Amino acid sequence: MGADPRRRNAPLRHKRPSTFNEQRPRLNRRVRALSIGIATMLVILGFRAFQIQVLQSPHLQRIAAAQLRQTITVPALRGGIYDRNGAVLALSVPTKMVIADNFQITDPVGEAAALSPLVGIPVSTLEPMLQRHSGYVVLRTHLPTGPAATIARDNFPGITMVDTSQRVVPNGSLANSVIGLVNAQGVGAAGLEYQYQKSLAGSTGIETLLETPFGVQLPQGGVVHQRASVPGTGLELTLDEPLQYVTEQALGAQMLAKNAVSGEAIVMDTRTGQILAMANLVNTKTAKSAGAVPVPIIGNPDPSLKGIAQAQNNLSVTQTYLPGSVFKLVTFSAALQAGLVSPKQVFSVPDYVAVDGHTFHDAEPHPLQHLSATQILSQSSNIGTYEIANSVGESRLLAQVQQLGFGQATALHFPGESGGLLMNAAGWSPTDIVDLPIGQVDATTVLQVLDAYNAVANNGIFTQPSLVRSTVSANGTISKVNAGVSHRVLTPNVAQTITAMLEEVVASGTGTKAAIPGYLIAGKTGTSQIPTPGKASFITGAYDASFVGFAPANHPVLSAIVVLQRPTPDIFGATNAAPVFSKIMKYALHRYGIPTSPGGSGAQTNAARFNAAQDLT
């Protein structure tokens, strides 16, 4: 269809352009909107600037500062360990860790040559270390403070130092099984170092340094914040360094001579229970050849005693053993306490007895003997002891075992300490009336045996043993440690009666090799079988040899015990342990100026005079 003729013939209409005045309202609206938008943006930006510069300024400043600050830990100097006379047994000395930032070192060859004599590293080794582009290379962990001061003064490029400390034991391995050790991080890992870690370690401090994110210290950027470290508290032990040395030497020499696998020896102040020496040694050669369970050692063997090394553990308190005849103290003290026997009472002692289908005998065959109670103890007759134990009975025997401290951990609370393994009424068998009195049932620690005999020496008073007698603050202040609680376990009369009987053991019985010229010695020998681990049997040919006693017997001042594990070919306590006791005790008596005791009231007067004039504590 065609176009509408009416529209085709209609005249064209042209729109008239609007004037400026007509467009002004629209422009004004746009300008206002734009102004409002700009103003809003300015307000937002202003608020944001206010927020950043005012409200968030402290927080942002802390973030910025944190990027330029490096906080380092300042280790505390570990407390020292000293003997009873102040001799150093273990001490931490300040050192420096030397660190190289290789990105700041422009002349590694020249710097290596200058730095080598100060850090003790050959130039050929040091130069590649300074060229290793890691930004952090430890050159020396423990540098003495003298060379460290020289390095700080000469301002070597790229070299920084951090405070460290090094544990020093000036006496080599002496008493290490008691003192223990610290690990690579300086934390106590064994012994007293572990037990007293918290007090010895002190508390660390902090230092904040200004440096770039790349670790470059800023000019004028010294320490901006510091919290000083607090040195640890030291320990003054009851140990006597010279006596400890003599004890270890005497024990180690006998272990070599008798091919013993290991050995323990302890010397104690009878009145206070303070341990003056505590040795725990291992014969590395014999232990290996005997096929025994290896005992971990600390460090290298003693060069003066080839093959003898410190046991890693304090075997005197962590290892149990069947004590053998030294355990007869339980039977005799129980019988005397109950009034069932007197020292001169005579018993008919056969060669052997049969109990519940088992045969028990004395160490050597003999015809029927008529022995007094004192002779039964001095000759260590198993059958005679059984006869006395049979009159005491099961319940009183079991009670006396605990009364004398067996089956209980001591007041030392030493890491890994054992309380022992005791027979009880529920597990009692008919043969225990023979085995228990002669020390072949209850497993005890060496220290427990000494504690029991020390109670006899202390007139019936059981005194808790101790190894630490004082703490030493960083400024040198010494604070005494409270003594352990004492309690009576034997009447004075029983203690004195047993002492007289034990004197006969050394005077004419099995303990003659423990004698010391000029002194009255009381003590007991012991020889016991070693059980097979995990089995109800004993290791063929394996024995523990013991001697325990005190001196002077008429006025006891010192007590001691010596135990050798698996001596060969001679197995007896009389010939293995007693001679070591004599050597150690002789030195100790002379060291402390203990008067001789030829016997009678004169010796007691002299000893009493000494006791009033000099206190071992």
Write the pLDDT tens digit of every residue in 451-487. 999 999 999 999 999 999 999 998 889 999 988 889 9
**pLDDT in the model for residue 611:** 44
* Residue type at position 41: M
**pLDDT in the model for residue 536:** 79
Give the up-direction half-sphere exposure of residue 465: CA atoms within 13 A in the CB hemisphere.
30
The answer to whether the beta carbons of residues 588 and 239 sit under 8 Å apart is no
**pLDDT in the model for residue 614:** 46
**pLDDT in the model for residue 241:** 97
Which regions in the chain score pLDDT beneath 70? Answer: 1-24, 63-70, 209-225, 287-295, 300, 598-617
What is the helix (H) or strand (E) element at residue 539, kind and residue range?
Answer: strand 538-551
**pLDDT in the model for residue 47:** 80
Pairing between strand 223-227 and 205-210? antiparallel
* 144 beta partners: 95
The answer to whether the beta carbons of residues 116 and 271 sit under 8 Å apart is no
What pTM was estimated for this model as a whole? Answer: 0.83
**pLDDT in the model for residue 286:** 80
Tokens of 491: 């009447």
Q: How far apart are CA 211 and CA 537, in angstroms?
A: 70
For each of the domains in the chain, give its residue range(s) and CATH number, in order of start: 92-166 (3.90.1310.10), 241-613 (3.40.710.10)
Q: How far apart are CA 482 and CA 484, in angstroms?
A: 7
* pLDDT single digits (tens) 202-216: 988 877 766 655 555
**pLDDT in the model for residue 401:** 97
Phi (first) and psi of residue 611, to 5 degrees: -60, -35
Residue with tokens 């808790």: 464
Degrees to nearest 5, angle at CA 434 with 432 and 440: 70
Degrees to nearest 5, angle at CA 306 with 305 and 310: 70
